[in-house]
Structure 1
């Protein structure tokens, strides 16, 4: 039975991946997370007592702890998702992004290389999970392919581009068995309420303004998080070493389209509107655009489809409805984030 070590497993995508692994496979899963502000163990409550799951609170900048953990757990696969990922936060304070995303990836690569050489495990691999934002602004036509040159725009995307280059260098120079994935915008249940979709859902329910950057014409390719989890497992276990795979949802939408879609679903599912408004879209408020805001991202995912047989199962219409329903039915999870009580589980946690 293979053992997978997931860094950042208490985050949005990491927790979705772990829930999927425990609920749909026989793999054993080790979760490594430092539980910064977006790490939420309540997102793993349904599987936290499973005998195939364990958790370790470790900062990926702490090499001695990583070395010790790898000796104890001896994973067959490392899936590296731990990252600072919020673009606005990276603009306001890039230091944490440089530390976690670049130096943290370097530290993990060195611990993984040491463990791999010592273990002699021919099946070992290091899977680095990245973003389509490393490719920069696509413009009105074309798609990102695995050969698209890097042109990151924000401190966040620049830090992720740097980490991608480190992983490729460790493959080329040291022979570390790696695979890389670059994914489009994820959405779904358990997403920390600072990203566009949960912000719109929760602000609408509270009768607050629905902030939209600029005129809302920025285009993103939206990927339901469970589809991403399935893709990651395929690449981690079957991907060709040294290769990169782009993962996209085949769902290009303007930000303003996403906002109107959410409002329309809420009009249907939650008609008891706040503040006497007629429809939720009345709350839309256009705000000053983000500095350096990329106009369009779109993924060409033919390689992962042709090589590994992965295609997304959710359309945007089915996925966004599931997401809105989840938030409507899990307000307590949201309230624990808003009042800070989700952090209570962090007390006393260590290696």
Structure 2
């Protein structure tokens, strides 16, 4: 069996130990004679899986007792609508910080549903630096502030949590569990699983309990945080296998030493890669240093004519999915928790050799 280094932004690489355990349990889960995929979500065996996954996630994130954790469907993009509808039932509209494509999508959805205002933007610096605290100015009718911690496509990441007098809502899809977070600073945190948690099909939502009664009266049942919290995320049949696999990833993370230990590794991986780019005459990353993502590292080549050669040669070397997003071009290396440091080392070695031969 050959396992290459997968730098895809999502669905992303998973820990090999997790895949091997899931493989071993695929047909017969712990002697029960059936797969987790075949279990009733309300069976005692599956409820134990779900409960442990939530407990481990709470432990890893340090989630306070006055917050609910939801395992929902629809991807993080569904949360653009869910946050808007759950937090504006008592009036007001969304305030949004624009740092790139995903925050823009969140803004458009909120604007369509409840009204929204961009109150700070990275547009003026061509999305190379996140807005600073002093640039924030909420509207008088702000119900909440939404921002995207880490723009997966552009590789722009906040180096602070915005401080405002309304609930802070954060899309952490591509940064969750990569570094410690003070959950108490947020009203809502949400993250699609397929980048840094588990397989596609499930989304994690952390919501402060005092916000559960602020939804629009017309909110669809499947988007209601209050309804999902009251039903243990099982108002309908959840994405059971994705939930199970996410739970295995949480166990793996705890075995690695938790989020603090992963943060040290992640910072080291990112620093190595950025150093290789900065010291090069062929590669470039445009993001201001304080706003550089430690999860998604985009870079361009000095000569675009070399792009196809770089991609074909890197794939032949076992370095997969390095093509940048179609909206920005170039290359992008997503180095989530499950990407081993040896994978980053292999990428740097290839980049150095490629520049020697083509630079």
Q: Relative contact order, CA 8 A, sep 6+: which one is greater?
A: 2
**TM-score between both structures, scaled by the size of structure 1:** 0.27
